[in-house]
């Protein structure tokens, strides 16, 4: 092993273009690390073809090749940092440059938005089932026990302030008033009176209260509903009178705020919970998902039903609306069999999946489960209990443990994507970055044993 030396006693010029041996030395060192294991495990060419990524002959040459665009998404979840920090690390880390297939040399990337631009491009081309099939076909040699699966659902929370009726109404009124002022300034007319500043001071004083009583909340809700209705009415008059042509995003946000007003009006006057309740004006696709946890009763994000084959996780169903995962048992079995091309013989799931319909399905297709037995004990009850205990242990340790690992170490704790499509892509790459590292470690272990 070469002795490690300090930089003040060591001068060297990195010149990969002139010395092939030196390049191979650094590249082999890169392959030995965790990032190198992910690099070795991913079928880059097939994956780029599945995403329909191609080099364009016309126009300027892109910094990142199709493989580099995919690598940048894996790298983000491996590094677990923001887009800006990711570009900064890419500028100074030779291993990150190897992974993305670029060599910056003395140049630096300064456009931090390139990561989000690539994310938006890939989000529009993501087909989860097709991409997972490509990954499984490449990894199947290193996956055993394909006839056995475990399944469970979790929620990957979105980056969002905790929504209350007062916050939602105020954010809607604030955005609408800013648009009203901007339109009036562009038209050169006086801004209509709305008493916005009065209610702004009142909302700020309410926010500073340590104890927000029901009477205070009710009074503020009534005032904000009237304010929002007034501002929305003034905006509608201006649009009709001057026949304004505004961007598409403006009309989408206006439609969202109108729906928020209708829902909050219903909550205030009737007390009924509206269907498909909006909790954020910026992320109108999010819905409250009741999980029934002790620490956190309600979560806001995408609910994902996953199944695991030999420690490798795959997405069965991803939705931003709440769904009953117990109804996904049969779909999970069929999807796992299509993916692995193997008949499922063992299936582990918690008690919420153990419905009579699912029990009959498992019996019909001779699928053994860890569901709690109903009725009298059978002839081989002792063996059944032992097998069920093993399946339950596998689900409780490996599958549920992977939820925490992905959230804590692969940037899925709070998802900061801004659209529905990019948030789904964010979750997809976070899950499969963890999978790729596990497969890479198995590949390295196999090579070591063969040597």
pTM, two decimal places: 0.92
Q: What are phi and psi of 319, to 5 degrees?
A: -150, 145
Q: Which two tokens stand for residue 40?
A: 């070795």
Compute the distance between CA of residue 15 and CA of residue 93 in angstroms, rounded to an integer: 15
- In the chain the first and final C-alpha atoms are separated, in Å, by 20
Compute the distance between CA of residue 331 and CA of residue 406 in angstroms, rounded to an integer: 24
Q: Which residue has the tokens 């063969």?
A: 450
For the packed helices 356-364 and 329-340, what is the interaxial angle rounded to 10 degrees? 30
Compute the distance between CA of residue 99 and CA of residue 441 in angstroms, rounded to an integer: 17
> Residue 1's pLDDT is what?
45
Q: What are phi and psi of 288, to 5 degrees?
A: -65, 130
- Using only C-alpha atoms, what is the Rg of the chain? 27
Q: Which two tokens stand for residue 72?
A: 């940048």
Show contacts of 105-112: CB within 8 Å, 24+ apart.
109/63, 111/87, 112/83, 112/84, 112/87
Could you tell me where the beta strands, DSSP code E, fall in 343-446?
346-348, 368-369
In DSSP terms, which residues pair with 174 in a beta bridge? none
> Residue 293's pLDDT is what?
74
Q: Is the pLDDT of residue 6 over 90?
A: no
Compute the distance between CA of residue 16 and CA of residue 172 in angstroms, rounded to an integer: 55
Structure-model confidence comparison of residues 451 and 249, the more confident one? 249
Q: What is the pLDDT of residues 345-383, one digit of tens each?
A: 999 999 999 999 999 999 999 999 999 888 777 777 788
Looking at every residue in the chain, the average pLDDT score rounds to 91
Q: DSSP label at 325? A: G
Q: Which two tokens stand for residue 341?
A: 């091309």
Q: Where are the domains of the chain?
A: 14-123, 128-160+286-450, 165-270
In terms of DSSP H, where are the helices of 208-324?
Answer: 214-242, 248-270
The gap from C-alpha 238 to its chain's centroid, in whole angstroms, comes to 39
Q: What is the pLDDT of residues 237-266, one digit of tens each?
A: 999 999 989 999 999 999 999 999 999 999
In DSSP terms, which residues pair with 302 in a beta bridge? 156
């Amino acid at each position: 092993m070469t002795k490690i030396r300090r930089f003040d006693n060591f001068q060297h010029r990195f010149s990969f273009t002139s010395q092939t041996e030196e390049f191979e030395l650094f590249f082999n060192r890169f392959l030995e690390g965790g990032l190198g294991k992910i690099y070795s495990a991913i079928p880059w060419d097939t994956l780029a073809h599945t995403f329909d990524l191609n080099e364009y002959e016309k126009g300027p040459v892109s910094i990142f090749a199709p493989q580099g665009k995919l690598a940048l998404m894996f790298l983000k979840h491996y590094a677990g940092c923001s887009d800006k920090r990711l570009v900064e690390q890419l500028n100074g880390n030779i291993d990150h440059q190897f992974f993305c297939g670029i060599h910056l040399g003395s140049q630096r990337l300064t456009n931090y938005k390139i990561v989000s631009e690539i994310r938006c491009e890939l989000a529009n081309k993501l087909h989860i089932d097709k991409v997972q099939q490509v990954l499984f076909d490449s990894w199947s040699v290193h996956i055993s026990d394909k006839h056995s699966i475990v399944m469970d659902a979790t929620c990957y929370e979105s980056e969002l302030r905790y929504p209350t009726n007062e916050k939602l109404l105020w954010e809607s009124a604030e955005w609408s008033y800013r648009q009203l002022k901007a339109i009036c300034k562009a038209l050169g007319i006086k801004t209509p009176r709305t008493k916005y500043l009065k209610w702004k001071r009142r909302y700020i004083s309410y926010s500073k209260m340590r104890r927000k009583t029901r009477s205070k909340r009710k009074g503020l809700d009534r005032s904000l509903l009237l304010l929002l209705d007034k501002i929305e009415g003034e905006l509608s008059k201006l649009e009709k009178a001057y026949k304004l042509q505004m961007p598409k995003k403006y009309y989408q946000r206006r439609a969202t705020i109108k729906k928020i007003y209708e829902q909050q009006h219903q909550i205030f006057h009737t007390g009924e919970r509206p269907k498909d309740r909006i909790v954020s004006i910026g992320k109108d696709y999010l819905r409250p998902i009741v999980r029934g946890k002790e620490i956190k009763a309600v979560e806001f994000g995408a609910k994902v039903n996953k199944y695991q084959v030999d420690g490798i996780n795959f997405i069965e169903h991803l939705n931003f609306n709440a769904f009953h995962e117990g109804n996904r048992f049969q779909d999970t079995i069929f999807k796992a069999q299509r993916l692995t091309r193997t008949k499922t013989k063992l299936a582990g799931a918690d008690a919420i999946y153990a419905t009579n319909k699912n029990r009959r399905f498992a019996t019909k297709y001779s699928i053994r489960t860890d569901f709690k037995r109903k009725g009298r004990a059978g002839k081989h009850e002792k063996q059944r209990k032992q097998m069920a205990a093993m399946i339950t242990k596998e689900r409780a340790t490996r599958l549920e443990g992977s939820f925490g690992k992905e959230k804590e170490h692969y940037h899925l704790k709070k998802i900061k994507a801004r659209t529905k499509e990019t948030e789904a892509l964010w979750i997809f790459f976070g899950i499969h970055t963890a999978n790729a590292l596990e497969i890479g470690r198995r590949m390295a272990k196999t090579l070591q044993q063969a040597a």
